[in-house]
Amino acid sequence: MKFLGKQQNLKKILFVCVENAGRSQMAEGFFRKYAPRGWAPISAGSRPTPQINPLAVQAMKEVGIDISNQKPKELSEELIRDSWLNISMGCIDKTECPAIFVGKFEDWGIEDPKGKPLEKVREIRNKIEEKVLELVTKIESN
């Protein structure tokens, strides 16, 4: 994915999960909201689904973030190479996300919301927001 204009110089955080339909999309939405100037999020999956989990969209709307127009994207070497930090949302499986182990990497170990009821998706959303805020604090203190 190419970024145009001013966005070219942004430092990118890549959020990765297998389907790019829930956790990584929520993380992208939160980071877009809280990111310091000069930073941008992107998310991708090793086996992206055709659409975002509707409960993830609903849970994010409840906190004022609309991710309904985001689309699942396929993880690529270019996305990984162009990212300042690669974050696995919890797919620390080298068969599913082998490329993410290249470069600067963190695993957040967050439960997959797929097939979970809305109440559980909200809990997962809240955990993702906490982790994104911790990341933003770390970035701002450097």
Q: What percent of the chain has pLDDT over 70?
A: 85
Mean pLDDT of 10-33: 96
> Is domain 9-141 given the CATH code 3.40.50.2300 in the classification?
yes
CB count within 10 Å of CB 5 equals 6
- Please list the active-site residues: 17, 91, 97
Tens of pLDDT, residues 36-63: 999 999 999 989 999 999 999 999 999 9
**Domain residue ranges of the chain, discontinuous segments joined by +:** 9-141
- Considering only 24-28, 106-110, 112-116, which range has the smallest mean pLDDT? 106-110
What local confidence, expressed as pLDDT, does residue 135 receive? 97
Is the per-residue pLDDT at 129 higher than 70? Answer: yes
